[in-house]
Amino acid sequence: MKKLLIIIFTALLLGSCSNELYKYYDYDNLIYAYSTRDISEKEMKKFVKKYSRIVSFPKGTRKLPPPGACAEYAYLLFKQGKVDEAKEYFAKEVVIYPESQTYVNTLMKSLGL
């Protein structure tokens, strides 16, 4: 009887685990702040640092950064003037999500990269 209870309990525990593909951390707050506030250059540094968590520590069932996160991070890095790092993350986006090739190319072209 005890064993059965333990099995049911563990099954319930496993069932309640998050089934999400990606972990977004505080993505909502960041993007909402970006779209509604005027972020100065100084603040941009902090902003990028906070955003880096999404790209650097991917969680979720796929254990990969969410779609578009690397491209977004690269875009923010470019805005900060870190061109080489930006290029690196743009390339990473294409490697993880091959369907983003055309979009990344267009974005890089518009940024003059």
Residue with tokens 């055309």: 102
Least distance between other proteins and beta carbon 38 (Å): 12
103 makes contact with other proteins (CB under 8 A):
yes
Q: Which of residues 24-63 bind other proteins (CB under 8 A)?
A: 24-37, 50, 61-62
CA distance 113 to 103: 13
Position 72 contacts other proteins (CB under 8 A): yes
Q: What is the 3-state secondary structure (H, E, C) of 74-113?
A: HHHHHHHCCHHHHHHHHHHHHHHCHHHHHHHHHHHHHHCC
DSSP 8-state symbol, 58: -
Q: Would you say 3 or 99 has its CB closer to other proteins? A: 99
88 binds other proteins (CB under 8 A): no
Residue that the structure tokens 């640092």 belong to: 49
If the CB atoms of residues 53 and 83 are measured against other proteins, the closer one turns out to be: 53
Query: Which of 54, 55, 69, 77 is in the footprint of other proteins by CB under 8 A?
Result: 69
Helices (H) and strands (E) in the chain, counts: 6, 0
Please report, as ranges, the residues that interact with other proteins according to CB under 8 A.
20-22, 24-37, 50, 61-62, 66-69, 71-72, 75-76, 97, 99-103, 106-107
